[in-house]
Structure 1
Amino acid sequence: MSRAARFMLLAASLLMGTAHAADLLSVVSGALERDPALAASRDATRAAAQAAPKARAALLPRVSGGWGRAYNGIVTEDFPTQHYWQSGWTIGLTQPVFNWANWTAYRQTDYVVARARLQAASAQQDAILSAAQAYFDVLAAADEVARATDYLHALDTHMALLARAKTAGEATLVDVRDGESSRAQAQLQWLDAQTQARLANSALSRLAGPDVGPLAALPPGGAPQLAPLAVEPWVTQAQAHGYGVQIGEMALQIARFDTEKARAARYPSVDLQVTHTPAGAAGGYSRPTTTTTGMLSVTIPLYSGGEISAKVDEANALADKARDELDAAVRDAGANARDAWLRVNSGGMRVSALDDVVRRAQSALEATRIGQRAGSRTTYDVLRATDAFYASRRDLIRARYDTVLATLKLLAQASMLDLDEVGRLNAQLFAPDSAPSHTSYASRAP
């Protein structure tokens, strides 16, 4: 089989492999379905949704019924002693007319439910970010394994040339020792890359399942462009709509209602109570008697030993705490958004610069080898050029994935990272005609 035919066969196998590769969206979706923490947050949301019917029930009538059997023994002077049994049932109704604490609790439920939903949305965003981190960690580890393997092979080739040159008297022992030192370092980098790849794959399997399969490689070009490009809109979005800020706002409103409920303990409460006991019930009468009672009761708190004042002070302190935490959340959201934007902005420029550095280092390595064969460069020069080329490739790999992850973290700071956004990024990052990222320079590596 000719070299061209073997190349075509290899390219076809790579295309068939990437056609069924799992992309970012499929991995994240699978991780969300398996995440127990996310499932727990959804359960918490369902539980919090019951706050509204519970609070509403405290405002509605309560009807209770009961049945009893009683023995009566009545001893009256100069009258025969009476002994008899009675059995029957009683029904009662209580309708709250005025209870400010219960009404405040009902008004508070909207914020309780909203906070639970925001916490669930925040948990989903955290799960998306964790799955994306694991996904790109696997890709970065695979690229690093490929780079370290190329580096090791290049130094093996260099050491073989050194051995022949030393035999011919064209290389010194110092050249051999330098080569061995670089070879040992390359071996260590290869071992570290293998370990990191196993750890990254294990982490991804834990999140998305063991049957993820091959992953779609990140094509060259780094992270997608931000929109808008300026930093201030991102800071404003994070400070206004960040999940930490929104949850803090709900917590402050809930704390204010708690203060109002604590004060409501000083107010009177009014209830309408109605009881009906049909004839034959054990009411203490010797003959069947039907009784119906209706009463409007007013309860006025007069003295509680300072308990109400203590609860009001406690609620006020907790409201102040919630307000301070909200201020901290707003400040942190703005600062984190600025940091993430800076990482994305500088990361894009760093990727472009490193891409140019890698190409120049590769050209320098090829020129140094030509010069070494012509006698104008030494084997030491070739070794240093080889080290510089593969070190720049390592820096480029890190910069590319760091920039993509910084973009995801910036979206998370603005509470914009959901499955729809992941799908949009997935379409931009993994175009159907994109080439695997780790083959960009490996095909030209010495």
Structure 2
Amino acid sequence: MLCGSGYTYAADLLSVVEQAVDHDASVAQARASYDAARQAVPIARAALLPQLSGGWGRGYNRIDTEGFPRSDYWQSGWSVSLTQPLFDWTRWTNYQQADLVEARGAVEFGGAQQASILRAAKAYFDELAAEDEVRRIDDYLAAIDVEYGQLQRRRDAGEATVIDLRDAQTLRDEIVLQQRVAQVSLQARRRALEQLTGAPFEPLARLRGAMPLPAAAPADPEDWATQAREHGFDVQMRQLDWQIAQYDVTKARAAHYPVAGVTASYTPAGAAAGYARPTTTTTAMLTVTIPIFSGGEAQSKVKASLALEDKAHNGLLSAQRNAEAAARDSFARYEGGRERTRMLIDFVEASRDTLDATQAGYKVGSRTSTDVLRTLNALYVARRDLRAARYDTIVALLQLKAEAATLDVDDIAAIGTLLMGQRDDGKVPAPAPAGRG
């Protein structure tokens, strides 16, 4: 996408996430599953409503009677039948259970969407982290080359030793190896992002400079744990599974109950010949079926349903405990990441000052080339750790919201306002369109 002045916009987080969700086959699968689950109520309701059917037939008849001539003829006829259940506890329970089946489909769809959002956001920041690492190593290698050139000049002037040159060369070789690894990792991250979005890779908007990250709201981790325990998508799924299992127990027990219904049929007279006479039949019947003995099948089904209900209940308890623990862990990661980011910002500034002082000391002979290389390495390691900490902290916030089942595109849009930093040419592009669609 090009703006009016000819600069290329970077893809923002929201557009990447929306594109990934639209392309995600698991989301499409969950959507189809939800569409199917929405038919559970109409299907169950239909079993309680009158069932009307009709039929038509044409048959050949031949009658051989001793002492009489043979008679054969064709006969046509049609019939209509009506069935209305009056009391069938299994069907009624299945109708009540259908609401839960539909709700489970909705929860599954919502969970799939949220998981897709989180995957896309992680892939976005993974690519940025890999890109930052390549840039950091390139800058580091350029700085090492400058130091190495100065060492060579000092060696020619007799102010540096061969050991100093070897140390610098060894460090340079190590950085070149890291550079190759970082480039391979960057390509892998970009391919992963392409796979998620289904589109060729585009440059991504970057985080601005050293900016404070907002505190989690609410600030109490127990509030997050409670939200996750009560509303987490996995917890909701297990809650619905348990309720569905309870209805399965009720249906199994309903096999012992009588079933009552009304049936009616109407068959008008058909054309006949020979000895056959047209006959019209109308019937209506109240039927009551009482189960007496099924070989122990009904009792076994009740026991199996009770066991599955117990399994579903324990699954709910496990999901609640896991949700609480995950929410507390994500909260701790986010708050710890915020603190670590603040400390690393100060550490990067201190490392830069230390490098300047060490280089000045080296020029006057109070510091060695080894000191310069060590402080240079400390600065670039601190820069790497700072960038990684910022990405990890943002992902921890998104993960925390996902644990509480509150992560949506609005959160992604809010995080996206932290992006769109300065370009390499120093120009700040206008925001790219980030609406749905």
Normalized against structure 1, the TM-score is what?
A: 0.90
Q: What's the counterpart of residue 144 of structure 2? A: 155
Q: What's the counterpart of residue 433 of structure 2? A: none
In structure 1, runs of 5+ residues without a counterpart are 1-12, 440-446
Q: What's the counterpart of residue 333 of structure 2? A: 343
Residue 239 in structure 1 maps to residue 229 in structure 2: yes
2:56/2:78 contact within 8 Å kept: yes
Quote how far apart the aligned CAs of 1:390 are. 0.9
1:88/1:278 contact within 8 Å kept: yes
1:218/1:436 contact within 8 Å kept: no
Between the aligned partners of 2:187 and 2:213, the Cα distance in structure 1 is: 25
Between the aligned partners of 1:247 and 1:147, the Cα distance in structure 2 is: 44
Structure 2 counterpart of 1:409, which letter? Answer: Q
In structure 2, runs of 5+ residues without a counterpart are 427-437
Structure 2 counterpart of 1:387, which letter? Answer: N
Between the aligned partners of 2:11 and 2:220, the Cα distance in structure 1 is: 33
Quote how far apart the aligned CAs of 1:311 are. 1.1
Between the aligned partners of 1:285 and 1:413, the Cα distance in structure 2 is: 80
Which deviations, in whole Å up to 9, do the C-alpha atoms of 1:154-179 show, x marking residues without a partner? 11111111112222222122212211
Quote how far apart the aligned CAs of 1:76 are. 4.6
Structure 1 residues 36 and 285, CA gap change in structure 2 (3 angstroms):
farther
Q: What's the counterpart of residue 106 of structure 2? A: 117
Structure 1 counterpart SS, 2:256: coil
Quote how far apart the aligned CAs of 1:241 are. 0.6
Structure 1 residues 437 and 52, CA gap change in structure 2 (3 angstroms):
farther
Quote how far apart the aligned CAs of 1:379 are. 0.8
Structure 1 counterpart of 2:159, which letter? Answer: E
Between the aligned partners of 1:63 and 1:225, the Cα distance in structure 2 is: 64
2:228/2:323 contact within 8 Å kept: yes
1:222/1:403 contact within 8 Å kept: no
Structure 1 residues 217 and 16, CA gap change in structure 2 (3 angstroms):
farther
Quote how far apart the aligned CAs of 1:230 are. 1.6
State how 1:161-310 maps to structure 2 within 5 Å: 161-219=150-208, 220-221=210-211, 223-280=213-270, 286-310=276-300
1:223/1:407 contact within 8 Å kept: no
Q: What's the counterpart of residue 386 of structure 2? A: 396
State how 1:310-325 maps to structure 2 within 5 Å: 310-325=300-315
2:71/2:275 contact within 8 Å kept: no
Between the aligned partners of 1:438 and 1:186, the Cα distance in structure 2 is: 26
Structure 2 counterpart SS, 1:66: strand
Query: Cα RMSD (Å) of the superposition?
Result: 2.1
Between the aligned partners of 1:425 and 1:117, the Cα distance in structure 2 is: 26
1:354/1:395 contact within 8 Å kept: yes
Identity %: 49
Residue 66 in structure 1 maps to residue 55 in structure 2: yes
Between the aligned partners of 1:145 and 1:436, the Cα distance in structure 2 is: 16
State how 1:401-440 maps to structure 2 within 5 Å: 401-427=391-417, 429-430=418-419, 434-435=421-422
Residue 30 in structure 1 maps to residue 19 in structure 2: yes
1:21/1:215 contact within 8 Å kept: yes
Quote how far apart the aligned CAs of 1:285 are. 8.1
Q: What's the counterpart of residue 343 of structure 2? A: 353
Normalized against structure 2, the TM-score is what?
A: 0.92
Residue 41 in structure 1 maps to residue 24 in structure 2: no
1:218/1:437 contact within 8 Å kept: no
1:276/1:292 contact within 8 Å kept: yes
Structure 1 counterpart of 2:306, which letter? Answer: N
